[in-house]
Amino acid sequence: MRFQLYTDVKAFYRDTCGVLMRHEAQNVLPLGNLMIGCAGRDREGWRDPANWLMAAVSDDTGVRLTALMTPPHNLTLYATDNRFDDSVLICLIDGLNAAGIVLPGVTTEKALAGRFAGLYTDANSLKSRVLVNQRIYELTQVNPAIPSAGSLRLARESDMAFLPYWFAGFQSDCFGRDCNIAAIAADARYHAGTRKLYILEDAGTPVSMAKLNREMQTVGCIGFVYTPPYFRGRGYASACVAGVSRRILEAGYRKCALYTDLANPISNSIYQKIGYTPICDSLQIAFE
């Protein structure tokens, strides 16, 4: 087994893109981030590849394990064809430890995440804690029976009157984080300025949001799905996600993908009714 660290994002993408593309929708996090890094147009916050951890474990057959971390976020992993053994993971762990790299956690396919976390915490006398049980879904066609509600438009500067509160609500609902409104306002303004954040309005009132969050070669990933509590139960989230999904497919992507929290059965049910089908489960694990 050979462990290799990279400092050039384009070299890392060249060496790993082929294996990551074998399960493109599953790998929306690393592929989407690598395409941002290779484009080099957006170096806001974590998006600057100069600060990334990029590594691969290979043998005579080629790349066996791909590892990407965009601090302060967790390490993301992909075992080629979702096949791995302890020797591959130990090689990665030994290489990271020898380089003095400390991980905050791991986010990846469930079996791989669990085994890597066990080996990593044993090697470093740490504990692990599952933060989120997730499921990754993909869609190729929006269910035409989904009822329409309101009208969809891109976010604009005037939406900053409410967007920081929505972003804080999203962080609280999905991750249990209490956010300072003033602190999260810059994040909300950034996402509004990408022209990929959509607002659903009903009779002129903003009621829901969703964003084309990452773009791969053939897959567009949806994120930041949020409806304020007052407007829930009226079909707005379904209409918003269905509308954004249609726009992604109309733009030429073959599939849409998204993550869900398995602790939220309502959102999982909504997405499946829209036409999303599960492709794998994923864990978000913190090391302590």
Q: How many domains does the chain have?
A: 2
DSSP for residue 161 = G
H/E run at residue 97: helix 86-98
Mean pLDDT confidence for 40-59: 91
pLDDT digits (tens, 9 = 90+) for 5-20: 999 999 999 999 999 9
β partners of residue 154 = 198
pLDDT digits (tens, 9 = 90+) for 136-146: 999 999 999 99
Task: Give the pLDDT of residue 69.
Answer: 98
Question: Could you give the CA distance from residue 151 to residue 45 in angstroms, rounded to a whole number?
Answer: 32
Indicate whether 161 and 209 sit together in one domain.
Answer: yes
Task: Give the pLDDT of residue 42.
Answer: 79
Domain boundary among 70, 102, 126: 126
> With bands split at pLDDT 50, 70 and 90, how would you rate the model's confidence at 44?
confident
Q: Is residue 77 part of a domain?
A: yes
The b-or-e profile of 26-61 (16+ CB within 10 A means b, else e) is: bbbbbbbbbbbbeeeeeeeeebbbeebbbbbbbeee
Please say if the pLDDT value at position 177 is more than 80: no
Largest Cα–Cα separation, the chain:
61
Burial of 102 per CB tally in 10 Å (0-12, 13-18, 19+): exposed
Question: In this structure, what CATH number is given to the domain that contains residue 254?
Answer: 3.40.630.30
- pTM of the full structure: 0.91
Task: Give the pLDDT of residue 86.
Answer: 97
Indicate whether 194 and 235 sit together in one domain.
Answer: yes
Tokens standing for residue 154: 């891109």
Tokens standing for residue 90: 């130990």
Indicate whether 171 and 64 sit together in one domain.
Answer: no
pLDDT digits (tens, 9 = 90+) for 57-68: 999 999 999 999
Residues spanned by the domain of 175: 139-280
CB atoms within 10 A of CB 160: 13
